[in-house]
Amino acid sequence: MRFGLLGPLAVWTSDGHPVRVPEPKVRALLAALLVHEGRVVSADRLVEDLWGERQPGNPLNALQTKVSQLRGTLGRDVVLRAAPGYRIRAGSVDVEEFRALTARARAAGDPRERAELFASALALWRGPALADFADEPFAAPSIQRLEEERLAAQEDWADARLALGEHGAVIGELGGLVARHPLRERLRALHIRALYRAGRQSEALAGYTELRDRLADELGLDPGPELAALHQAVLEQAPGLSPPKSNLPAAIGELIGRDEAVRAVRARLGESRLVTLIGPGGVGKTRLGVEVARRLGDSFADGVWLLEFAGMDRQAACPPDEWVVAAIAATLGVREEPTPGPRPDLPDRLAEALRHKEILLIADNCEHLVGQIADVMGRVLRRAPGVRVLATSQEPLGLSGEVLWPVPPLEVPGRSSDLAAAREFSAIRLFETRAGITVDEDTAPVVAEICRRLDGIPLALELAATKVRVLGVHQLLNRLGDRFRLLAGGPRDAPARQRTLRAMIDWSWELLGEPERVLLRRLAIHAESCSLEAAEAVSGDGADVLELLSGLVDRSLVVSQTRGGAEPRYRLLESVAAYALERVHEAGEFDELRLRHAHYYVDLAERAAPRLNGHDQRQWLDLLDAETPNMRAALETAVQQGDSGLAQRLVTALSWYWFLRGRLGEASRSLRLAGGSPATRAWLTGIAVLEGQRPDLGVLDAAEELEDSRALWFLGYCMSTVGDMQTGERMTLLALKRFEETGDQWGIAAATTDRVSQQMHKGEFADAKELANRIARMFADLGDRWGQLQASFTLGTLAEISGDYERAAALHREGLRMAEELSLWPEASYQLSWLGRIALLTKDFVRARDFHERARRLGVEQNFPPAEMYAVTGLALGARREGDFDEAEEHLHRVLAWHRDVGYQEAGALALAELGFIEEQRGNASSARRLHEQGLALARRTGDPRAIALALEGLAGVHALAGELSRAARLLGAADAARRSVGMPLPAAERGDVDRISAAVGPGYAADFEWGKGASLADLGFDA
């Protein structure tokens, strides 16, 4: 229980409910016990205190009766028997709280902190001490002692406020105290100082004269030396008596991460007379504003003054507009002077008083009284040209000429930052400083994630840092899911709104009307951010969402973000979102909103899917990028609700998007989650093949039964990409037939693209070139940049094969530009590899390695193994040509292993040929023969004449190494014929191996070469 003596006797329960103590003598007994502050009071003394000389017949029995009554009210564990009497065991007493607060205040160094603590202590007083026992002798000593303590605290409070420049506000309060205690010298000295600082020197001198005369008349004394010295200083107008030019609080610690912000705000104040720092609660607006003011202090002749408005909206003593202007006037020492005629209102008197001042006002925490503060500041700025205002608020003041400066959160590191880089970020530095730690390799990623989860908001980081000593950073991160319970118990000297994370957001929530609260909580159902359309569809319910959203943005509760020419997106800081979700659950809306959210985003995905194939491709790719978190949340909802149809609609609509963005892992996981419709299984099988997994043979066997033509086409595309041309061609031809029947122009172009690669694989280059030019025109008409990339890729490949390296490089550079423009990173990887191949052919090995390494990194980053392996093959080609056989061998074995893992070893013919050449160049004829024979077997299975020619060239090298020169010449002739059969003889730049082997054979075997040109593989001794 809690007991009160600072006013009428009172008792409260631990949760603040009053407890009624009946019957005057029982209340007197309680008071008599409490004034002894927990000490034992003898029974005889209690009898004397309660009855004095008019004691009952059996006083001890009467006392016992009163004790029993008191125990019945408070409990036996509160009123205790202790020889020779009784004592009270109080949970807390307001007197103890008062003394603790005043002790802390007197120990504080900052006058602002002292003033706040004394104010809190004096607020405990509810009237005269023990007012209902003022005439009781037992209470008199305690009442006298407590009233003296109260008066001393009032003096100390006034002294602290004078140090803050609040002389105007304390004059009236001190005047009332002086009237009640006219001979108290310290009180009189404080009053004299306040009068003098307010420009009322004559009244200050009159106050001294009155005290001196009363002391002489009533006590025969003179004023003490301190008061006499003050009187002399007033007469001399000593500089030390002048009021301070600032009431800014003393700096406590470094303001971390705000140097650039301070410079920027100072610059704005140099250009504008009204600058408002806006931002969410806890972002550090006040500290930034005070630091700017502190650094500008010498620039204003009449100083810089902090006007604090936090909590003022709760004052009930007068209307808010009157309270605001009265508080400003009190802080600045502006008083009401008697004037003839109509009396101007206080805002105009304030403006007039500041007309000739050069002063900076920091209007802090304006959001709860923004209208009233704006009215006063507007008048002041219009009539006092030397005044500048730096306001802090969660929303603008809305005045002409106002410059808004959004205070950003502290910078947080990305997930890829290393230790050295992470420690450069201001959020990390603040956390380290407040937690008293230094992050290392182990803790840096954890602290970085804490900073990200708390959005870099300084107050949230400081609250989190206080928990590190108990939890450590790993446990702290694990518990952030319950952040409102975790981040409580901030500094005792902080305002209540800054002691817990919940209180910080409560402060902002209370600003809102009911429609704004409804929208804010519903916005939390969106993942990360949403568009205006989504907010209206999911969260609106017919409300004017745009107007409400604008208000929430103005109040810094919603962040508006615009990138490039895209539509704005709206997001909540993570802590605000967590708070709003709690409100959603309180309102019972969670399940309904989740379903509404899921249906909206499934519909959006289905609207987007066909638009990914046309002129608006980039716009819709960007939109789906932004909506990815919401799409994931929608899928999670559909799966949790058991709505497989909704889930399958979503993943089918998004599969092509995931492929374009190279998000194979996400596509695979999402397709599995959604369940196994034929279309989703087809998409999943294609994605799995690209990831390096073996295909689902059941899906391949049933491909013809697929109703979804695009899923069928995609499956064929993926099979062709990893080298299974036979399976891929079967599906491509079926899909192409369906597309032609339905008039699906994009499908026709896409399937024709695959036909180009399939025909090139069979050596049908003339047809391939004609089709490549056709698809280039088709995709240009459709506006599909991905399709144009495919056309550019095939035309560049054909140019390279024919030896037109300049054209090939130009086409691949254009392809790379398109891929980067659309952020199609898997395609960009392929284009880089082709540029690397061209550099190899022109013997620019340094650029070739750079292109291939960039391509490899992109393939890895995008988790797109086909592109990675294509780049690794290029690195192997370059390493062999530079003579680094070991590196080349390592790369080639990786490529072969991948082809083996995905089940398409036929695609490894090139790798086997390269390994065979390495062994031949090392002089290992037997191992070279084995490798080239394996390569020839693969090439014969695929039917690719160029691959067959490459294997024959390799075997020619083996026979030349063994001295079998006639056989080598015949194999070279057969290889040349195979290449010419498809119209693609080896260009000069690609003849390195053939020229080397031909030189080893020598010029005397031309007849064998010619014989080989007309020979079949059977003629050459290879099994049919």
pLDDT in tens, 790-839: 898 889 888 888 888 999 999 999 999 988 888 888 889 989 999 999 99
Kindly report the pTM of this predicted structure. Answer: 0.68
The three-state secondary structure class of 254 is coil
Res 492: pLDDT? 60
Q: Which CATH architecture has domain 258-406?
A: 3-Layer(aba) Sandwich (3.40)
Q: How confident is the model at residue 1024 (pLDDT cuts 50, 70, 90)?
A: low
- At 416-450, the pLDDT tens digits run 777 888 888 999 999 999 888 999 999 999 999 99
Tell me how far apart the terminal alpha carbons of the chain are, to the nearest angstrom. Answer: 102
- Would you give the DSSP letter of residue 18? B
4: tokens are 């009160």
Question: Which residue's structure tokens are 């119209």?
Answer: 983
Chain centroid to CA 608: 28
User: Residue 58: which residues within 8 A CB-CB, separation 6 or more?
Assistant: none
**Is residue 675 packed enough to be buried (19+ CB in 10 Å), middle (13-18) or exposed (0-12)?**
middle
Query: d(Cα 887, Cα 885) in Å, to the nearest integer?
Result: 6
Query: d(Cα 88, Cα 78) in Å, to the nearest integer?
Result: 6
Q: How are beta strands 569-571 and 530-531 bridged, if at all?
A: antiparallel
72: tokens are 């019945």
Closest CA to 675 of 632, 624, 638: 638
Res 495: pLDDT? 60
Asked if 66 contacts 7 with a C-beta cutoff of 8 angstroms, the reply is: no
Q: Which CATH architecture has domain 908-1020?
A: Alpha Horseshoe (1.25)
Chain centroid to CA 619: 25
Mean pLDDT estimate for the chain: 88
Domain covering 512-587, topology: Arc Repressor Mutant, subunit A (1.10.10)
Please check the confidence at residue 340 and state whether its pLDDT lies above 50. Answer: no
Res 491: pLDDT? 60
Q: What is the mean pLDDT of residues 705-727?
A: 88
Res 197: pLDDT? 82
Question: What count of other Cβ atoms lies within 10 Å of the Cβ of residue 696?
Answer: 17
Longest dimension (CA), the chain: 149
Q: How confident is the model at residue 281 (pLDDT cuts 50, 70, 90)?
A: confident
Q: How confident is the model at residue 344 (pLDDT cuts 50, 70, 90)?
A: low
90: tokens are 């109080």
Please identify, in words, the CATH class of the domain defined by 1-164. Answer: mainly alpha
Chain centroid to CA 573: 6
Type of residue at 1024: A
Q: Is the N-terminal amide bond of 84 cis, ω within 30° of 0?
A: yes
Tell me the C-alpha to C-alpha distance, in Å, between residue 538 and each of 221, 518, 520, 580, 586.
81, 12, 12, 15, 18
Looking at per-residue pLDDT, the higher value among 939 and 323 belongs to: 939
Please check the confidence at residue 341 and state whether its pLDDT lies above 60. Answer: no
Query: Rg of the Cα trace of the chain?
Result: 43
3-state percent breakdown (helix, strand, coil) of the chain, nearest 5:
65, 5, 30
Res 98: pLDDT? 94
Q: How confident is the model at residue 414 (pLDDT cuts 50, 70, 90)?
A: confident
Res 319: pLDDT? 63
- Paired with 393 in beta bridges are 278
Positive or negative, the CA dihedral 724, 725, 726, 727 is positive
Query: d(Cα 655, Cα 783) in Å, to the nearest integer?
Result: 20
- At 107-163, the pLDDT tens digits run 887 788 888 899 999 999 999 999 999 888 999 999 999 999 999 999 999 998 888
| Residue burial 485-519, b: 16+ Cβ < 10 Å; e: rest | ebbeebeeeebebbbbbbbbbebbbebbeeebbbb
Please check the confidence at residue 315 and state whether its pLDDT lies above 60. Answer: no
Domain 1-164 matches domain 512-587 at the CATH topology level: yes
Res 423: pLDDT? 86
The three-state secondary structure class of 271 is helix
Question: What count of other Cβ atoms lies within 10 Å of the Cβ of residue 545?
Answer: 23
Closest CA to 822 of 602, 657, 632, 630: 657
Query: d(Cα 521, Cα 516) in Å, to the nearest integer?
Result: 9
Please check the confidence at residue 985 and state whether its pLDDT lies above 90. Answer: no
Query: d(Cα 718, Cα 668) in Å, to the nearest integer?
Result: 14
Query: d(Cα 70, Cα 41) in Å, to the nearest integer?
Result: 15
Please check the confidence at residue 644 and state whether its pLDDT lies above 90. Answer: yes
Closest CA to 669 of 863, 867, 449: 863
Query: d(Cα 220, Cα 206) in Å, to the nearest integer?
Result: 19
User: Residue 36: which residues within 8 A CB-CB, separation 6 or more?
Assistant: 87
Please check the confidence at residue 460 and state whether its pLDDT lies above 80. Answer: yes
| Phi, then psi, of 787 in degrees rounded to 5 | -65, -40
Asked if 76 contacts 22 with a C-beta cutoff of 8 angstroms, the reply is: no
User: Residue 210: which residues within 8 A CB-CB, separation 6 or more?
Assistant: 182
Return the domain boundaries, the chain: 1-164, 258-406, 419-510, 512-587, 908-1020
- At 180-221, the pLDDT tens digits run 999 999 999 999 988 888 778 888 899 889 999 999 998 889
